[in-house]
Amino acid sequence: MKTTMILSLALMLVVGVSAAQAQPYIAKNEHRRINNGVRSGELTRGEAYRLRADQRDIHRDYVRYKRNDGHISPRERKHLMHERQKASKRIYHAKHNSRVRCK
């Protein structure tokens, strides 16, 4: 019983830490996707502007959550991941729509 409790607490700690560490990697990947879309002409300037604004908003939320009490609660982490997933879908749809940038 004790061993199971200790292992489950350790697992929750590892999962929480890994999710918090994934935030910067995800942000860099999404910035890369936006920049590649602009370079390839898949994204218009307006689309890129809106997608970058989404990224700024998510980063502001992250900073605000960290500033409030020094850490990100599971609820806040869930909110950030949900926003990241929505932003990722918007990037995909913007890159795969019929609009292209004029060169």
Structural domain for 22, as ranges: 16-95
Residue 49 in any domain: the answer is yes
**Cα Rg, the chain, nearest whole Å:** 18
| pTM listed for this prediction | 0.72
Residue 63 in any domain: the answer is yes
Residue 79 in any domain: the answer is yes
Residue 11 in any domain: the answer is no
Nearest to 90 by CA among 48, 40, 32, 29: 48
pLDDT of residue 58 exceeding 90, the answer is: yes
> For residue range 29-39, what is the model confidence (pLDDT) as tens digits?
999 999 999 99
The total number of structural domains in the chain stands at 1
